[in-house]
Amino acid sequence: MSFSGEVKTELIEVRLRRNDDGVKLVAGFTLAGASLKYSTSHRRWGLHFVSENSACINFIAKLACRAYDLEPEISLNVHQRLRARNTELFLCGKDVDRLCLDSGLISLDENGEKTFTPRLPEGLEAEHACRAFVRGVFLACGTVSDPSSGCHAELVLKNEQVAKGIAELLAERQIPPKITTRRGLRVVYMKNGDTVEDFLTFMGAGEAMLAVREQRMLREVKNNSNREVNCFSANMEKAAKASAAQVEDIRLIISELGPDALSEGLYEVAYARMGNPELTLSELAAAVGIGRSAVNYRLKRIAAIAAEIRKQNGRNANTD
């Protein structure tokens, strides 16, 4: 099962403490996932739902029939070529019109006539009602990426005004989403890790939220570790280049001027460096038995002598 499937399973198991929450959940599912369809077998119009998640369909059918006078028909549709298995729900009966109006799928104009203008349903001011409604929307058209691959949650909706309304509902609760268009559909999405966690928590998917948080923490630890390793590698490379340059300077001085050209202190550091090119500056200081700053100063003196030799050799070459 995908992570989105696990989230939906968790949401289905969330206890509905108020009857109105069930109504609002069905409203969200209907507004986001239903279409009007004429059934030849029933010889009437009804609401048609299609979902890859059979548990969602069974759950909604149960809630809808508990709140409304409806007749459910559930069937399995297997697409051999695409290897897809979808569960379909057809709701018809006395209260289909009432469900359409309650969910916002159909509106009434100023004359009381029905219009196919989707809108958010009324009564979403209460926090529990809004939670249930958003939960229903997610069950119908929501997905969450696997936490191991990143943080991304989205709701794919057919209507622009509905998408904007849901985005505003979430933003009012400090869960700011963004909206984009994909293949003619409106996508309300969240990519920020904190926002995805807040979204899951708001809907009641606490276990899913913890799974996302755990993976985020693991990625953060891994990234910090990688940064430390990269920083250490860069420092080691820098130290190795500096050590190689210092050895080259010492060899130049000895070959051109002889070891006696160096004072006792400079010779001590030069001898230690020649014998231990792999040591860092601090390790070299410990080996010589003096401070790090003193070693650094003496190496700079050696570098200056070598630079003067190279400068002099360059002058002599130009003179020749």
Is residue 82's pLDDT more than 70? no
Is residue 36's pLDDT more than 80? yes
* Tokens coding 191: 């990519």
Is residue 45's pLDDT more than 70? yes
Whole-number Å distance between alpha carbons of 144 and 147 = 8
Q: b vs e for 49-76, b when ≥16 Cβ sit within 10 Å of the residue's Cβ?
A: bebebeebbbbbbebbbebbebebeeee
Is residue 66's pLDDT more than 60? yes
* Tokens coding 11: 């949401």
Q: What is the pLDDT of residues 237-265, one digit of tens each?
A: 787 888 888 888 888 888 888 877 788 88
Whole-number Å distance between alpha carbons of 167 and 159 = 12
Is residue 185's pLDDT more than 90? yes
User: End-to-end alpha-carbon separation of the chain, Å?
Assistant: 82
Q: Which pLDDT band, with edges at 50, 70 and 90, does 193 fall under?
A: confident
Residue carrying structure tokens 């198991």: 13
Detail the DSSP E strand segments found in the chain: 35-39, 44-51, 71-79, 84-92, 107-108, 114-115, 142-144, 153-157, 178-182, 185-190
Q: Which pLDDT band, with edges at 50, 70 and 90, does 316 fall under?
A: low
Predicted confidence at residue 317, as pLDDT, reads 57
Whole-number Å distance between alpha carbons of 289 and 303 = 21
Whole-number Å distance between alpha carbons of 128 and 135 = 11
With residues binned 3-state (H G I as helix, E B as strand, rest as coil), the percentages for the chain, rounded to 5, are 60, 15, 25
The one-letter amino acid code at 101 reads: L
Q: Is this prediction's pTM over 0.85?
A: no
Q: Which of 123-127, 227-231, 312-316 has the highest mean pLDDT?
A: 123-127
Residue carrying structure tokens 């070693």: 295
Helix (H, G, I), strand (E, B) or coil at 252: helix
Q: At what angle do helices 127-141 and 3-12 cross, to 10 degrees?
A: 140
What is the dihedral sign for C-alpha 12, 14, 19, 25?
Answer: negative
Whole-number Å distance between alpha carbons of 202 and 197 = 9
Find the length of the chain. Answer: 320
Q: What is the pLDDT of residues 275-297, one digit of tens each?
A: 888 888 888 888 888 898 988 89
DSSP-derived secondary structure letter, 89: E
- For the chain, where do the domains classified as CATH 3.10.28.10 start and end? 3-204
Predicted confidence at residue 81, as pLDDT, reads 63
CATH 3.60.40.10 describes domain 3-204: no
Q: What is the pLDDT of residues 202-230, one digit of tens each?
A: 999 999 988 888 887 887 777 777 777 77
Predicted confidence at residue 176, as pLDDT, reads 92
Backbone dihedral angles phi then psi of residue 47, each to the nearest 5 degrees:
-100, 130
Q: What is the mean pLDDT of residues 294-317?
A: 83
Predicted confidence at residue 113, as pLDDT, reads 82
Backbone dihedral angles phi then psi of residue 187, each to the nearest 5 degrees:
-115, 115
